[in-house]
Amino acid sequence: MVDFHTHILPKMDDGSDSAEESAAMLKQLAAQGVDTVALTSHFYARDEAPDSFLERREKALERLQPVLTEDGMPRVLSGAEVYYFRGFSRIGQLPDLRMEGSRILLLEMPFCTWGEKELGEIIDLCGDPSFVVLLAHVERYWKYQKASVWDRLLSAGVMTQSNAECFLYPRTRRKAARLVQNGYIHVLGTDCHNMGARQPRMGEAVAVLERQLGSETTRRFTARGEEYLEEWRV
């Protein structure tokens, strides 16, 4: 199983604070059946140049290296959670912000109704064969856009990631399971930040999905993550 969205790299953002905490997060994910973890630290173009981000990411990965070679650790893929700004698709180093080995760009959008400029830029990027746009924690934007906007984005090839947590709350879990069933949610991520209030909860989310959709549908859904990584290889 793949976790497409985490803040595990130590001291990169508001996620893990140390290599020890990162190790605990990775171990917890492994125990929950996750064998591939995307390391998607926040990237804010308004605060930092891509070069500086990539250099910091490299160093954080080096700090984590001794942990990654321990027995039973999941495979990790470096990546980024790129925050949208108008013109983001023209960043020269955008390909370097994709998930390692793949064309996937994890994109975080503002929590508001998107206008034609935003929609047009996402849809245009989907037309570029070098990228697969994966919208981070899609459930957070759901209510702000009309149903027709989602249909438009999905038919342009936009992919969606949902946070494991939204399968855990009684208020949202039924709807989330329905969205998986109807093909509006493509992949899962924990969006874990630490071992406290925002720890990895993939195992619990999968258990809820199994109760809602049955084990075979859930198995097929979670297996799709690996298939997408293969399908979207660089």
Nearer to Fe ion, 81 or 165 (CB): 81
Q: Both tokens of residue 216?
A: 């075979």
CB 88 within 8 A of CB 45: yes
Provide the residue type at 224 as one letter. R
Q: Which residue's C-beta sits nearest to Fe ion?
A: 191
Nearer to Fe ion, 36 or 217 (CB): 36
Q: Return d(Cα 153, Cα 138) in angstroms, integer.
A: 12
Nearer to Fe ion, 136 or 218 (CB): 136
CB of 15 to Fe ion, least distance (A): 8
**DSSP secondary structure string, 68-95?**
HTSTTPPEEEE--EEEP-TTGGG-TTGG
CB of 106 to Fe ion, least distance (A): 8
CB of 165 to Fe ion, least distance (A): 11
Nearer to Fe ion, 22 or 218 (CB): 22
Contact residue for Fe ion among 191, 202, 209, 222 (CB under 5 A) = 191
For Fe ion, the binding residues in 54-93 under the rule CB under 5 A are 81
Q: Return d(Cα 31, Cα 28) in angstroms, integer.
A: 5
CB of 149 to Fe ion, least distance (A): 22
Residues 6+ apart with CB under 8 A from 36: 1, 2, 3, 74, 75, 76, 77, 225, 226, 229
Q: Return d(Cα 194, Cα 56) in angstroms, integer.
A: 19
Nearer to Fe ion, 43 or 131 (CB): 43
CB of 137 to Fe ion, least distance (A): 7
Nearer to Fe ion, 13 or 218 (CB): 13
Binding mask 142-181 for Fe ion (x = CB under 5 A): ----------------------------------------
Strand 104-108 versus strand 159-163 pairing type: unpaired
CB of 14 to Fe ion, least distance (A): 9
CB 205 within 8 A of CB 172: no
CB 200 within 8 A of CB 28: yes
Interface with Fe ion (CB under 5 A): 81, 191
